[in-house]
Amino acid sequence: MKITVSNVTPETVSIHGQTLAREYAELVLLPLLVAAEGQNHPAIVKVAEAFATAGLSLEGSPEVSRLYRSHQHQQRVEQERLKAEAQEHARRCHVPTPQEIAQQIAERERKAREIREHGERLRAARGR
């Protein structure tokens, strides 16, 4: 079921072109639409999403509010998982640029130089 919610004001809301009192839409129409969907959770989430997107309260039906928040949380978790997976693939498939290679070589040479200098200091301190 596609729900068109528009012209939302503090007192009225237009649902499918019919102007209704906002309180009626939130406290009566939302539970009726949800009851019409039965236990079809995806359809209930679509109804809740239409109301929430329009800025209407979902508190007229606590179960709908809970289902919608749960759905949003699951979507956020899935998006974060996909983002982390994409970043891991990008990191794994990364081909270093010539500049990055030069930086790695310079860092390796710097560390080797520090180790040699430390060894020379130790040998000089021992008198060798």
CA nearest neighbour of 68 among 112, 76, 80, 123:
76
For the chain, give the percent of residues with pLDDT over 90.
Answer: 69
pLDDT in tens, 98-108: 999 999 999 99
Reading the block at residue 50, the tokens are 């239409």
Question: Residue 45 and residue 69: Cα distance in Å, rounded?
Answer: 9
Confidence of residue 59 (pLDDT cuts 50, 70, 90): confident
Question: Residue 84 and residue 35: Cα distance in Å, rounded?
Answer: 38
